[in-house]
Amino acid sequence: MLSIRDPIHGFIRTDELETALLKSRPMQRLRFIHQLGLTFLVFPGAEHSRFSHVLGTMHLAGQIYDALAAKGDGLLPRDADAPERRLVRVSALLHDIGHAPFSHSAEDLFEGGIDHEDMTMRLLETPEIQEIFAHLGNGVDTEAVRRVLTKTGSGLEHLLSDIVSSELDVDKMDYLRRDSLYCGVQYGIYDLQRLTEMVEPLKDPRDGRWRVGVGHGGVHALEALVMARYYMFTQVYFNVTSKVMELHFNRWLRSRGVEWPADPEAFLKHDDLTVLQQMRESEDPHARAIVHRERFALAFESDEHLEPARRKELLGLVPELKEAFGEHNLLVDHSEKDPHRLGQNRVWVRRFDGSLQPMDKASNFIGQMTPIDCVRIYAPRELRQEIGRAVESRWSTNEQAVET
């Protein structure tokens, strides 16, 4: 066993299987993948890695499992060495091993159109990972991990999948607290202890599957999680400077025809350090924008919650702007997220009388929240004002004056 000191959760302890996985190449590579991509160029403290995040996710998976087992009337075995508990912990530990350099910054550049989740599945099948499970799995294998991560299991495995990936999962529980700490902000703070105490296994009345829900006393704790996620997206993940750095990064990669290898062995050779070294040696203006901070400036920014028709109208101006100013002088970002997606993918609340209610109905304000939908246009500093005026002249804001 290992005892690892973590700034969020204190000591995190691992068993033999988890220890061996931590020492594997796919896991060690995550030490050199920034959790927040290029955000460390804006928030200097955001140097934390995917490695620390998956450790925290694994730890929380065990805690949430224990909380559910304590309330499930024998639904889940309560033994610390139960295969189900070990399975959900290693699934949480391995869920991010397929991330490309700088995490989500260039997610769509894998060969063959795969994504980081597909790469995770491929890495699970490598001889190194297979051998670790063969020797130390003791009832847990990579096929079970695959079912949990892809949500293709049945019965209790579906509940384990919910622990790792759902609208109330340990991934969000960890990254909100972790990212908030390292970015030096308070937006991601919520009552983790209360939320952990209030989770319950609830049977979805729509399909009869077991899911992670909350008791009626946990509504406000879950509201706080939703609000923390909303504010982290608006203030950190969609930060105006972070987004332009991502755009420069993608423009540089595409100009060089870079794609992340689909072959697992080749993929493991790529991390933030190898890519950053290539950028440092490049004279490409988009590489220099990152390395030397010669970035484009913000020329135009829409409201934070655009209506779909207005967003379509605004994005429809982009070809005209490229024609007028040159495509090389424009970078366009469309940031959209529904950080409170509790409608179709429901989290159920057990009411005081034992009946179930969807969270978006149990909460007084979550159902009223609208998705984040924002468009930004960046340009060289000498053109920012001219391009900004061009956008404003072609796209009326339709703002009504407020009489006082």
pLDDT tens digits, residue range 218-272?
999 999 999 999 999 999 999 999 999 999 999 999 999 999 999 999 999 999 9
Residue at 181 is within a domain: yes
- Which two three-digit tokens encode residue 364? 């007084």
Residue 303 within a domain: yes
Indicate the pTM of the whole model: 0.94
**Mean of pLDDT values over 307-315:** 93
Q: How confident is the model at residue 400 (pLDDT cuts 50, 70, 90)?
A: very low
Domain that holds residue 169: 2-394
278 three-state secondary structure: helix
Q: Would you say 377 and 299 are in contact if contact means Cβ atoms under 8 Å apart? A: yes
Q: What is the arithmetic mean of pLDDT over 123-150?
A: 97
> What is the per-residue DSSP string for 137-170?
-TT--HHHHHHHHHT---THHHHHHHHHSSTT-H
Q: Band of the pLDDT at 399, cuts 50, 70, 90?
A: very low
pLDDT at 397: 53
pLDDT over 50 (residue 92) = yes
What pLDDT does residue 344 have? 57
CATH of the domain at 119: 1.10.3210.10
**Three-state SS at 202:** strand
> pLDDT at residue 342 above 80?
no
- Inform me whether the pLDDT recorded for 401 exceeds 50: no
Residue type, 309: A
94-115 as b/e: b if 16+ CB within 10 A: bbbbbbbbbbebbbebbeeeee
pLDDT of residue 402: 35
- Whether 133 is covered by a domain: the verdict is yes
pLDDT of residue 170: 97
**Confidence class for position 72, pLDDT limits 50, 70, 90:** confident
Residue 403 within any structural domain of the chain = no
Segment 18-31 mean pLDDT? 98
In a domain, 404, yes or no: no
Summarize the confidence of residues 313-336 as an average pLDDT: 95
**pLDDT of the residue at 338:** 86
Counted domains in the chain? 1
pLDDT value of residue 343: 52
**402 part of a folded domain:** no
Residue 401 lies in a domain: no
What would the 3-class secondary structure string for 108-126 be? CCEHHHCCHHHHHHHHHCC
Crossing angle of helices 142-150 and 156-164, in 10° steps, is 70
Query: At 366, is the pLDDT very low, low, confident or very high (cuts 50, 70, 90)?
Result: confident
Q: What local confidence, expressed as pLDDT, does residue 403 receive?
A: 38
Would 399 be classed as within a structural domain?
no
Q: What is the pLDDT of residue 339?
A: 72
Asked whether the predicted pLDDT for residue 152 surpasses 90, the reply is yes
At 185, is the pLDDT very low, low, confident or very high (cuts 50, 70, 90)?
A: very high
53, 181 Cβ separation under 8 angstroms: no
